[in-house]
Homo-oligomer: A and B are copies of this chain.
Amino acid sequence: MNDNVVPIKRGPDASPPTLTPILSLTATPMNAVNAIILDRMQSEIPLIPALAGHLIAGGGKRMRPMLTLAGAEVLGYQGTRHHKLAAAVEFIHTATLLHDDVVDGSEMRRGKSAANIVYGNPATVLVGDFLFSRAFELMVEDGSLRVLKILSGASAIIAQGEVDQLTAQRKIETSEDRYLDIIGAKTAALFAAASRISAIVAERGEEEEMALDSYGRNLGIAFQLVDDAIDYDSDAAEMGKDRGDDFREGKMTLPVILAYARGNDEERRFWQDAIAGFSTEDEDLAHAVTLIRKHDCVTETRERARHFAQRACNALSIFPDSAARRAMVEAAQFAVARGY
């Protein structure tokens, strides 16, 4: 490992890492990306921009297009081709969020009612399809077959990961390896592709392309692991509000996999019932949190996230030190440290 690259810290931090540097780094091009997003989600059918805007205008961190923009910065790319491609990446992500909300029967997304609740499942499915098609139109306008190959491949992998997650749902015997396969597909594949395509528009070689792929992929896994940890890491008072969705849906995430593996017979029976959907009341969730704490499963999940975030940083070691690289490193540190 190149010692220019800062190691990821363990545990809470007095001055915790933030996304501020990467947000500043990408603020100007992100305005251009947002303008493309707003322009290209338009349609003569008014329901389409209304529904798409409900989610897109609702914010979100724009993590994936940010990776495309940050990659261009670390490579010193001076053009603007990546703006359209970053918008395409966000459209693919938005399409998957809309379909996820239908699949999960979500009620909330980004702090407000999910699109499927406001507009119904049928429109939500179809507007997802529209945004997905628009993403490909944007890529075709750019004209790079390599970018099209990477993003169509990533899209197929995402869909497979989502189906795989559905298959694993309510199955207590899901292994850690299978869980990592699932999040590698449903989350990390688009992080990897978003990051990688910046090297293609910048016309760099295989080594830089794969370094950015690795940064994005490992960062995506770290983010997902910490998301999954946070869903079990709240005060009991908060439980039953915005946390615990994974528990109620019987999703097998790493904290549960670890707690089940470490549990005694009685605890394992609890998990079997809970994941099967027989014990999903607020008091069951509180008990789940107690067991996960008892076996240090949130800490352990964060430790795994630290491992992947470190790999993300290591992948950047082929690039010279720069404000862009430092911002990308801090984003990886943030991925692990957030939510403490």
- Please report A residues at the B interface, Cβ cutoff 8 Å: 43-48, 95-96, 99, 102-104, 121-123, 125-127, 129-130, 132-134, 136-137, 139-140, 143, 145, 148-149, 152-153, 155-156, 158-160, 162-164, 166-167
Closest chain B CB from A109 CB (angstroms) = 16
A-B contact pairs, 21 of them (CB 8 A): A45-B163, A46-B167, A48-B160, A48-B163, A102-B122, A121-B121, A122-B166, A123-B163, A125-B125, A126-B159, A126-B162, A127-B159, A129-B158, A132-B132, A136-B136, A137-B152, A137-B153, A139-B152, A140-B145, A140-B148, A145-B145
A159 to B44, CA, bound (A): 12
Q: Tell me which of B44, B149, B152, B166 contacts A126 (CB under 8 A).
A: B166
**A165: nearest residue on chain B (CB-CB)?**
B126
User: Which among B45, B143, B156 is the interface contact of A134 at CB below 8 angstroms?
Assistant: B156
Contact residues of A: prevailing secondary structure: helix
- Residue on B nearest A169 in the bound complex, by CB: B122
Closest residue on chain B to residue A92 by CB atoms: B133
A41 CB to closest chain B CB (Å) equals 11
Contacts of A125 in B (CB 8 A): 99, 102-103, 125
Query: In the complex, A253→B308 CA distance in Å?
Result: 55
Q: Complex: how many Å from CA A130 to CA B163?
A: 9
List 8 additional contacts besides A44-B160, A47-B167, A123-B166; criterion CB under 8 Å.
A46-B167, A99-B126, A125-B125, A127-B163, A136-B148, A136-B152, A137-B149, A137-B153
Q: Give the chain B neighbours of A137 by CB distance below 8 A.
A: 149, 152-153, 156
Given known contacts A137-B152, A145-B143, A156-B137, A129 and B99 CB-to-CB distance under 8 angstroms? yes
Nearest CB of B to A86, in Å: 18
* A190 to B207 CA separation, bound complex (whole angstroms): 40
Residues of chain B within 8 A of A136, CB atoms compared: 136, 148, 152, 155
Tell which of B122, B123, B159 touches A130, judged by Cβ atoms closer than 8 Å: B159
Complex CA–CA separation, A95 to B125 (angstroms): 12
- The answer for the CA separation of A62 and B99 in the assembled complex, in Å, is 27
Q: Is the CB of A126 within 8 A of B163?
A: yes
Query: How far does the alpha carbon of A158 sit from the alpha carbon of B96 in the complex, in Å?
Result: 18
From A102, A125, A132, name the one whose CB has the most chain B CB atoms within 10 angstroms. A125
Q: Closest CB of chain B to A320's CB: distance in Å?
A: 33
Whole-angstrom distance from the CB of A186 to the nearest CB of chain B?
Answer: 10
Chain B residues whose C-beta falls within 8 Å of the C-beta of A134 in the assembled complex: 156
Compute how far the CA of A43 lies from the CA of B164 in the bound complex, rounded to whole angstroms: 10
Contacts of A149 in B (CB 8 A): 137, 140
Which residue on chain B has the smallest CB distance to residue A142?
B145
CB neighbours (8 Å) of A163 from chain B are: 43, 45, 47-48, 123, 126-127, 130
Chain B minimum-CB-distance residue to A182: B45
CB distance from A287 to the nearest CB of B (A): 27
